[in-house]
Amino acid sequence: MIKNDLFLKALKGETVERPPVWMMRQAGRYLPDFMKLKEKYDFFTRCRTPELATEITVMPINQIGPDAAILFSDILVIPQAMNIEVEMKPGLGPWLPNPVRTTQDVQKVIVPDVHETLGYVMDAIKMTKKELNDEVPLIGFAGSPWTILCYAVQGQGSKNFDIAKKFCFTNPAAAHTLLQKITDTTIAYLKAKVAAGVDAVQIFDSWGGMLSPTDYQIFSWYYIQQIIDALKEETHVIAFGKGCWFALDTMAKSGASALGVDWTCSPLHARYLSGGKITLQGNFDPSRLYSPPAEIKKMVHQMIDEFGKDRYIVNLGHGILPDIPVENARAFVDAVKEYKPR
Ligand code: CP3
């Protein structure tokens, strides 16, 4: 039994004394101890070494105090396991030297045995679960197939993922073959994560909002729904689509336990679009953590009032920014713990 079960209660839609809180990218560069480890080990070494992944995952739990931990890893370990080379370049971010651009390239992409290629993630989960000692739940995650395709085809981050979109719209057959391969790998991967001990999984569709509502259904949601169908009996699934407010009605009918929303959609609007019953997660503007702690607290209390304390998980609308002062991140979490329903 997990001692702090607020997060799991919110996922089940149960009444809580206050909503749970965690932050996307909470195990990251705004923490001085993380930066010390970053000096010594490169990014994928940190992901592949269970001792390091465990240490980084637990850091924010001890230093900031959120109600859930998220495993330190990256969505790009999936393309790596599928035979697509991925590097993390300092200052640039993800860099894929041989992007997938043709039908032949797609044929070379494999659906791997995830226990073999990604066994280090399962080892990290088992070690982290021990270290957490059932204090808080552990979240596992994967990128959405569309978001993974964006990197696999574009070869790096982008403002508009123009090359990825061109590939989908000029060679849809190859795009769908690639998306299905990523989906099959992701399902096996998330099932292995659940077997290794994670208490919930989140699907990050960070670039879903790049698509029109119609193309979103065809190139992104169709595959996310397959993942939810395959996982929903085994665990709680949270679907987060950045910029995907237009799809909240579809997402609410998917069998997901919760939906993530970004800060461009008001709490009232998000509740309305998602039908008012499903648990929502979000949606503080990550840049608002630059405000003084007193102002952060006031805004967090207002956000909880607007979402309502039940069927709600307090989070940012996207990942925490690297230069946020630690005390401001702590003010965000403390504000939730100090919340009193009005
Ligand atoms: O939330 C957590 O604390 C868990 C760890 C986590 C990381 N990446 C660690 C990381 C999670 C959940 C991710 C997901 C991820 N990775 C996403 C989806 C969420 C989102 O932010 O949209 C995406 C798109 C990626 C791909 C990725 N990884 C990018 C674009 C970058 C470089 C840009 C950046 O923010 O630095 C990364 C690197 C990365 N992944 C870092 C961390 C802590 C920073 C680099 C480093 O520490 O060396």
Residue list, ligand 1 pocket, CB within 6 Å = 24-29, 38, 43, 70, 72-76, 88, 93-94, 141, 143, 157, 204, 206, 318-319
Confidence of residue 218 (pLDDT cuts 50, 70, 90): very high
pLDDT in tens, 234-264: 999 999 999 999 999 999 999 999 999 999 9
Residue 342 lies in a domain: no
**How does strand 258-260 pair with strand 236-241?**
parallel
Taking residues 1-6, report their average pLDDT: 96
**How does strand 200-205 pair with strand 138-143?**
parallel
Residue 22 lies in a domain: yes
Nearest to 317 by CA among 286, 291, 271, 273: 286
* Cα 276 to middle of ligand 1, angstroms: 31
Nearest to 110 by CA among 140, 130, 137, 82: 82
Q: Is 184 annotated as a binding residue?
A: no
Residue 275 lies in a domain: yes
Domain containing residue 258: CATH number: 3.20.20.210
Q: Is 254 annotated as a binding residue?
A: no
Judge contact between 136 and 22, C-beta under 8 A.
Answer: no
Q: Is 44 annotated as a binding residue?
A: yes
pLDDT in tens, 78-119: 999 999 999 999 999 999 999 999 999 999 999 999 999 999
Residue 64 pLDDT > 80, yes or no? yes
Please classify residue 299 by burial: count the beta carbons closer than 10 Å to its beta carbon, then call 0-12 exposed, 13-18 middle and 19+ buried.
middle
Residue 341 pLDDT > 90, yes or no? no
Residue 223 pLDDT > 80, yes or no? yes
Tokens matching residue 9: 């209660």
Taking residues 280-299, report their average pLDDT: 98
pLDDT in tens, 189-211: 999 999 999 999 999 999 999 99
Q: Look up the pTM and report it.
A: 0.97
Confidence of residue 299 (pLDDT cuts 50, 70, 90): very high
CA–CA distance, 169 with 171 (Å, rounded to integer): 6
What does the mean pLDDT of the chain come to? Answer: 97
Residue 79: the pLDDT is 98
Taking residues 263-281, report their average pLDDT: 98
* Cα 16 to middle of ligand 1, angstroms: 30
Residue 94 lies in a domain: yes
CA–CA distance, 81 with 69 (Å, rounded to integer): 24
Residue 39: the pLDDT is 93
Nearest CA to ligand 1 atom 22: 206
3-state secondary structure of 23: coil
3-state secondary structure of 341: coil
Nearest CA to ligand 1 atom 25: 75
Residue 313 pLDDT > 90, yes or no? yes
Containing structural domain, residue 146: 6-337
Nearest CA to ligand 1 atom 41: 28
Q: Is 281 annotated as a binding residue?
A: no
Residue 154 pLDDT > 90, yes or no? yes
* Cα 91 to middle of ligand 1, angstroms: 13
Confidence of residue 138 (pLDDT cuts 50, 70, 90): very high
Q: Which atom of ligand 1 is nearest to the CA of 143?
A: 18
What is the share, in percent, of the chain residues with pLDDT greater than 90? 99
Confidence of residue 342 (pLDDT cuts 50, 70, 90): confident
Residue 311: the pLDDT is 98
Please classify residue 306 by burial: count the beta carbons closer than 10 Å to its beta carbon, then call 0-12 exposed, 13-18 middle and 19+ buried.
middle
| Strand order, beta sheet including 69-70 | 69-70, 138-143, 200-205, 236-241, 258-260, 279-284, 312-316
Judge contact between 197 and 126, C-beta under 8 A.
Answer: yes
Pocket test for ligand 1, best of 33, 74, 154 (most atoms within 8 A of CB): 74
Nearest CA to ligand 1 atom 24: 206
Pocket test for ligand 1, best of 24, 25, 136 (most atoms within 8 A of CB): 25
* Cα 123 to middle of ligand 1, angstroms: 20
Residue 242: the pLDDT is 98
Residue 91 lies in a domain: yes
* Cα 74 to middle of ligand 1, angstroms: 6
Q: Which atom of ligand 1 is nearest to the CA of 147?
A: 24
Residue 151: the pLDDT is 98
* Cα 301 to middle of ligand 1, angstroms: 28
Beta-bridge partners for 239 = 203, 259
Q: Is 217 annotated as a binding residue?
A: no
* Cα 120 to middle of ligand 1, angstroms: 18
Number of domains in the chain: 1
Nearest CA to ligand 1 atom 31: 93
